[in-house]
């Protein structure tokens, strides 16, 4: 009888060892998560009012715009103003302008064109037109950080401009 009990115990031990052994609970399954990049901004997510500041060789500026959207196209009105009207930079008199903005969104990038025509009530330099083209490669629904180049008909080429817009 003892040898039969020993044989049963040995068989049980062999079975327990072969099936994972011991009395511990099976390990919980592991999951692997990967972080996906933020989805690109769609043009529709850019509609509405924006404001920000910028800088180019003429001096610092305040920019605001109100965008409307149709498909991947954006358009709207834009206002340009100097940050400091008394700082003596070209911006202090040339950047009192209202105009238009048009652009196209492609993935998370945007290309925009701003036109600030000559004229305007109370504008210190009404004879000047400012046109610049801006681009940004990582647009989000709440932030656009862009670079631009363009031309001021009174001051000449604008190079190395940049702005940050938020809402």
Question: Has residue 153 got a pLDDT over 70?
Answer: yes
Q: Assign 10 a pLDDT band (cuts: 50, 70, 90).
A: very low
The domain locations on the chain are 43-166
Looking at residue 86, what is its pLDDT? 85
Looking at CATH, the fold of the domain delimited by 43-166 is given as Lipocalin (2.40.128)
Share of the chain above pLDDT 70, in %: 75
Question: Has residue 165 got a pLDDT over 70?
Answer: yes
Q: Assign 142 a pLDDT band (cuts: 50, 70, 90).
A: very high
Task: State how far the Cα of 111 lies from the Cα of 43, in Å rounded to an integer.
Answer: 11
Looking at residue 40, what is its pLDDT? 47
Pairing relation of β-strands 48-56 and 59-70?
antiparallel
Question: Has residue 41 got a pLDDT over 70?
Answer: no
Task: State how far the Cα of 130 lies from the Cα of 134, in Å rounded to an integer.
Answer: 13
Task: State how far the Cα of 78 lies from the Cα of 114, in Å rounded to an integer.
Answer: 8
CB 78 within 8 A of CB 101: yes
- Taking only the tens place, the pLDDT of each residue in 51-108 is 999 999 988 999 999 999 999 999 999 999 998 888 888 877 778 899 999 999 999 9
Phi (first) and psi of residue 37, to 5 degrees: -65, 155
Q: Could you identify the residue written with the tokens 């920019």?
A: 63
> What is the token pair recorded at 152?
């001021």
Q: Which residues contact 43 (CB under 8 A, 6 or more apart)?
A: 69, 70, 71, 72, 73, 74, 104, 105
Whole-structure pTM value: 0.73
Phi (first) and psi of residue 122, to 5 degrees: 70, 15
Burial class (CB in 10 A: 0-12, 13-18, 19+), 120: middle
DSSP state, residue 140 = B
Task: State how far the Cα of 17 lies from the Cα of 25, in Å rounded to an integer.
Answer: 14
Looking at residue 88, what is its pLDDT? 82
């Amino acid at each position: 009888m003892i040898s039969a009990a020993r044989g049963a115990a040995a068989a049980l031990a062999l079975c327990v060892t072969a099936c994972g052994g011991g009395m511990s609970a099976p390990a919980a399954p592991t999951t692997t998560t990967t972080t996906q990049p933020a989805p690109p901004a769609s043009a529709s997510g850019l509609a509405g009012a924006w404001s920000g500041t910028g800088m180019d060789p003429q001096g610092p500026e305040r920019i605001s715009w109100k965008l409307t959207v149709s498909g991947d196209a954006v358009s709207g009105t834009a206002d340009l103003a100097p940050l400091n009207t008394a700082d003596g930079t070209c911006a202090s008199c040339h950047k009192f302008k209202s105009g238009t903005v048009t652009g196209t969104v492609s993935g998370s990038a945007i290309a925009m064109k701003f036109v600030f025509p000559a004229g305007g009530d109370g504008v210190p330099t009404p004879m000047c037109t400012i046109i610049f083209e801006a681009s940004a490669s990582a647009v989000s629904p709440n932030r656009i950080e862009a670079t631009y180049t363009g031309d001021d008909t009174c001051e000449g080429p604008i190079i190395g401009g940049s702005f940050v817009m938020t809402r």
